[in-house]
Chains A and B, each alone.
Chain A
Amino acid sequence: MVTLAAPPNALVDAEPVDETPLVLTAGLTSMDRAFRALLAASGAIVLVLLLSILTFLAVHSWWALRTFKLDFFTGTVWSTPIHPGVLGILVGSVIIATIAITVALPIALAIALMINEYAPPRLRAWLTALVDLLAVVPSIVFGFWGLEALNTYVHAPVAWIAEHLGFIPIFRTTEPSNYSDSVFVCGLIVAIMIIPVVASVSREVMAQAPRDACEAAFGLGGTRWGSITDVILPFSRNGVVGGVLLGISRALGETMAVVLVLSNNNVVSKAILGPGNGDIAKQIADTFPVSDVHSQSELTLAGLTLFATTLLFSLGGRFVARRSVGQG
């Protein structure tokens, strides 16, 4: 409560003034109460939505959970309805997300730094808009492009990697010359899709880094790279981590690009250049409507696993990102 004191040099009348602060009791009108209730109700809709998604998925997957218990989460081969092992397809989702973020992170950081620090200031607004624009291109378009174009573009580089870097276990392949439709190609497509997202978040956080500290670094004779490593990156570290976790949650849940491109065996495999690992989202999209009740229950449990994983990542990302804003 702010109270206004009389200025010390004001002319004071002879009559004493009552100086107890005036307390205003601004009661809520009935319209106010109705309005607040409306707002709270709309907020509650979102809450109810999330809870009902979780509840319905849980109820529908109850049969699978009760039947297979822990075996469901430790089995490495997904074969419904008798041996559903979610690891067989969860690992695929995780590998795709890992490849995607490994490729996307350095490139997204490069885009963010280029826009903020290297590009001519006149271009900055345009480049920012371009990156945001690319973030809304629908995922099915990326998937279609990946299937028709990227598959052929990457054949030569992937063959080269398999040939010359085959001594590294993940690049070893059991089926030479069959490099398309692999987990690796999926990872690349998803990487291209999440680059704008991660770049956009990182750029925003980096733009809030204190300019005077950068100027000070320049003034002391520092190079631009010095100002980036010693001022901008330490300042924006948490925000970038938040963006990365958001990107991972996007990549984990990405469905269409993977459905279109991946040809899978639904088994856990270390090789990423050939067919092998499955993917939860793809498995649901491909088989759910044509499955029997029990398989549907198992697929729902797999979906719930995926949803829980992405929720964890996106909540974690927001938490970390918000902490960095608090520090700034």
Chain B
Amino acid sequence: MADLLVDEMRVPAAFPPDAPNRKRRVSREGVIDFVGAAVAAFAAVWLLFSLAGITFGFGFVFCWAVLGYTFYGILVWRRAGVLLMKDRLATVAVWTGAVVALVALLAVVFYVVAKGAPVVFANFPHFLINDMTGGRSGDAYGVGAAIVGTLEQVGIAALISIPIAFLTATYMVESRSMLSRLVRNIVDAMTGTPSIIAGLFIYILWVIPHGVNGKSGFVAAVTLSIMMIPVTCRAALEVIRVVPGSLREAALAVGAPQWRVALRVVLPTARAGLITAGILGVARTAGETAEVLFTAGGGPHYNWNPIHGNQDDLPLRIFEQVFQPSAKAISVGWGAAFVLMSLVLTLFILARLLGSGGSRRRSFSLWHRSRSADE
């Protein structure tokens, strides 16, 4: 203790005047360091490449990034020491990585919009109404049949999956038996089921024995529900679990039987979150392709009957168009991709809004409870 005091008294000038340590504020020196290092590295690499006569391509950007990072590290290290150097380098790395990744991911979304939206809006209502036979003019292709197929298949899958998923989630919360724990592990494991395996299973189980009549919208819906049940169930489990135990106990204390507590108290309390879970399951499965590949059958025509005959849907339509030789056919694929992505993202945003708007607490966010006390 005494040593510490002496040390502090001996080097008072080394401490800056009292100022709050703002972790998020970037000082002017910091900016100058960073920009300076970047410029220096650019100049150095440019000089090097010019002298050596190397073409300016990917290698230039790569060398610039590596050298700039090194320069910046050395600069901060000389000015402020090793600890701050690590901190600054990590800050740059984290920001770079995160921004590059988010930009890349958003680029995918915008690429699809840029490619698909013109196709959809060039022939606006007709692209969403016509089927793939080309309408009256013969080349006005549209994804109407695919939209009908997707809506029917995903709708039927939701009708099958959501009751099962909600009841299973309730079971996992209400029961502590061995079976309950086993089911919970199985649901966890099945969220990672490769979609091709679900398609393979239904193909072996149903399509092979029934031959040419084996494929239909309903069979595809059953395949989709193999994926939808675990996804919805996990999301529902998260929201049912955060229903306060005091509510349940209060209901039990006034003499309500267990089934009424579950159906009239617990599930209504979690209503907003359950709606979110359901929509989320639908959104996640609407884009599944490998599952409907073997089971829906596809085809260019409208087929409103989900129980009989091959039916098209959006993922399958994209898959068909991708391998077509002509650019026009591929652009129909982009149109279908745009429609599918709009559908999925709209469902997702709807789920998010319903989930957060319906309850005062923010505990019903999509896959996770949000940070409870935010710092």
Residues of A within 8 A of B (CB): 26, 28-29, 31-32, 34-36, 38-40, 42-47, 49-50, 52-53, 56-57, 60, 106-111, 113-115, 117-118, 120-121, 125, 127-134, 136-145, 147-149, 156-157, 159-160, 164, 192, 195-196, 200, 204, 207-208, 211, 218, 223-226, 228, 246, 249-250, 252-256, 259-260, 281, 284-285, 288-289, 300, 303, 306-307, 310-311, 313-315, 317-318
- Scan residues 331-360 of chain B and give those whose CB is less than 8 A from a CB of chain A: 333-334, 337, 340-341, 344-345, 348-349, 352
B203 touching A288, Cβ below 8 Å:
yes
- Indicate whether A50 sits within 8 Å of B192 (C-beta atoms), given known contacts A56-B201, A107-B100: no
CB pairs A–B below 8 angstroms (29 shown) = A26-B252, A39-B170, A39-B175, A40-B171, A40-B179, A42-B164, A46-B187, A52-B201, A53-B198, A107-B101, A111-B102, A127-B102, A132-B352, A144-B337, A145-B111, A148-B115, A157-B58, A157-B62, A192-B101, A218-B23, A228-B90, A255-B194, A255-B290, A256-B289, A281-B290, A285-B293, A289-B294, A303-B200, A311-B192
B57 touching A156, Cβ below 8 Å:
yes
- In the assembled complex, which residues on chain A have CB atoms less than 8 Å from the CB atom of B367? 132, 200, 204
B23 touching A224, Cβ below 8 Å:
yes
- Indicate whether A32 sits within 8 Å of B257 (C-beta atoms), given known contacts A136-B284, A255-B196, A314-B192: yes
Chain B, interface size category, equals: 35 or more
Q: List the B residue with the shortest CB-CB distance to A39.
A: B171
Neighbour of A49 across the interface among B21, B91, B101, B226, CB < 8 A: B226
Complex Cα distance, B183 from A122, in Å, reads 39
Complex Cα distance, B196 from A252, in Å, reads 11
Q: How far does the Cβ of A35 sit from chain B's closest Cβ, in whole Å?
A: 3
Does B204 belong to the interface (CB within 8 Å)? Answer: yes
- In the assembled complex, which residues on chain A have CB atoms less than 8 Å from the CB atom of B365? 128
B109 touching A110, Cβ below 8 Å:
no
- Indicate whether A281 sits within 8 Å of B97 (C-beta atoms), given known contacts A31-B259, A136-B345, A318-B185: no
A56 touching B205, Cβ below 8 Å:
yes
Does B262 belong to the interface (CB within 8 Å)? Answer: yes
Complex Cα distance, B238 from A204, in Å, reads 13
Does B250 belong to the interface (CB within 8 Å)? Answer: no
Residues of B within 8 A of A (CB): 21, 23-24, 57-59, 62, 83-84, 86-87, 90-91, 93-102, 104-106, 108-109, 111-112, 115, 163-164, 167-168, 170-172, 174-175, 177, 179-180, 182-183, 185-201, 203-205, 226, 229-230, 233, 252, 257-259, 262-263, 280, 283-284, 286-290, 293-294, 315, 318-319, 322, 330, 333-334, 337, 340-341, 344-345, 348-349, 352, 365-368, 370-371, 374-375
